Amino acid sequence: MDRVALRGLKARGHHGVFPREREEGQTFIVDLVLGLDTRPAAADDDLAKTVHYGIVAEEVVAVVEGEPVNLIETLAERIAQVCLKHDGVQQVEVCVHKPDAPITVPFDDVTVTIIRSRV
Q: What are phi and psi of 107, to 5 degrees?
A: -160, 160
Is 49 catalytic? The answer is no
Q: What is the pLDDT of residue 47?
A: 95
Which DSSP state fits 108?
S
User: Per residue of the chain (119 residues), what is the pLDDT tens digit?
Assistant: 999 999 999 999 999 999 999 999 999 999 999 999 999 999 999 999 999 999 999 999 999 999 999 999 999 999 999 999 999 999 999 999 999 999 999 999 999 999 999 97
- Cα gap 90→27, rounded to integer Å: 28
CB 93 within 8 A of CB 71: no
Q: What is the pLDDT of residue 119?
A: 73
The pTM (predicted TM-score) of the whole model is 0.95
Q: Which residues contact 94 (CB under 8 A, 6 or more apart)?
A: 30, 31, 32, 76, 79, 80, 83, 113, 114, 115, 116
Q: What is the pLDDT of residue 102?
A: 95
